[in-house]
Amino acid sequence: MLAAIKNSIFPFWPLLVLLGGAFVTLMMGLLKGRARILAPALSSLLVLALSAYGFFEAYFLSGSQSILYSLAVVGVGILSVPMFLDYFQAREEKVPEVFSLLLLVVLGALVMIGTTHLLVFIFGLEILSLSLYVMAGLRREDLRSAESSLKYFILGSVALAFTLMGLSFLYGVSGQLDLNLMAETVIAPEFVTLFKIGIFLFLLGLCFKVAAVPLHFWAPDVYQGAPMPVTGLMAVVVKLASFAALLKFLFFFYLWEHQQIAGISLSLDKFVLFLSLASMAVGTLAALRQKSVKRLLAYSGIAHGGYILLGLSTGWGQANELMNTSDAVLFYLISYAVMSLGVFTVLSLLSRGSQELDSLEDLKGLSKKHPLASAFLAFFFISMAGIPPMTGFMAKYLIFKQAIYQGLWGPTIFAVLMSAVAFYYYLVPVIRMYFQEESSSSVELPKLPLGAQAVLVLLILAILGLGIFPDVILAGF
């Protein structure tokens, strides 16, 4: 019996380590002095490293793509710890519980990625969401942070209602909550319409998390009010987990569609394509008029989500095409994660204390007083613009290539045009840093710690490696 319990628990030990580590890290906040924030930071780093080892070992045994998503999420968590430590250590009011919340965010994302049971997925979604609601309001002296937390909570609750309503329809019609069993269920013809409604409601709720149009409007306000490292965590981890889950659900709904006796069509490819084009247009055009770096990056994230959705809409012909699409989507998500993490790391390091580097005006003349930070920031923005040989270009190329292969010439041309327009707003921060004089409102900026510089160099090497050697990376997928 003990052996059976051990065998049933052992595959989940990387998750259990995160759960236990979150409680231990929270208790470390009772310490005094510098240890009050240093001990939780080191504890969370150790816990994330142990979890990463578990997933790394599991990947060599199974080669599962979901484990690669999990590794990416844990990797983002590891690289986020120095960013959180530097940001919150410089504040007058120490917030050691942020590291426990970071572990819970990673845990929730991993549950979302790894499960095929819809109820367990909801648990993972709520672990992630509730932790981020709290983290968004950690700048207690700033009313915008409280507003950000409240907006995220209220709108997230509405989106959850859509998801739960869709789940209730799916369960009521199929009698299953596990996607594997649901995909094998033949629905009676009179219940097919209800099943379709359930699918679209469930996916609509998930679109809130990926900030896809029309459920995108929360992102700019929440990004702007949340602390800078928390904004980076939302921009990266939430997208990784949500798109991994979305890809998995689309694959299972594809299998269900082809299990039916009658010629039933869900038209999910058209639904996803509409979301893709709308997200690209709204995200790109709205970013052009932003004066806040956070809001610019929020709309940029919406546009990037549109490109990823374009990739998801191309694999609806045959199962093997959906798998090929998943490679391009995974490559894009990892590329986006690396680039976004780089931008937010630099901005977080320059936003210590009570004042954040958020306005584009604050970037004027930055290259003269902080040449190293400007060089890092310019590199990441240029990669996001899609300049070869960086990974931003290669990620879009793979998505566009897949779309053209499926005959989606019109949407691909539209996506290329949006990419050309986006080139402008990615260059605006670079122009401000290098070709404009320092403004009178410029904030005092700290130096970049050596450890942070090493992390940023590592991210730059990853961007160049992904861009120059994509075949090596894709072969691993």
Confidence at residue 165, expressed as pLDDT on a 0 to 100 scale: 92
Domain ranges of the chain: 277-477
Confidence at residue 64, expressed as pLDDT on a 0 to 100 scale: 72
Residue ranges in the chain modelled with pLDDT below 70: 1-11, 60-63, 91-94, 258-266, 315-325, 352-354, 439-446, 472-477
Confidence at residue 2, expressed as pLDDT on a 0 to 100 scale: 40
Confidence at residue 397, expressed as pLDDT on a 0 to 100 scale: 92
Residue 439 and residue 183: Cα distance in Å, rounded? Answer: 59
Confidence at residue 94, expressed as pLDDT on a 0 to 100 scale: 67
Confidence at residue 369, expressed as pLDDT on a 0 to 100 scale: 82
pTM greater than the 0.85 cutoff: yes
Confidence at residue 78, expressed as pLDDT on a 0 to 100 scale: 92
Confidence at residue 313, expressed as pLDDT on a 0 to 100 scale: 83
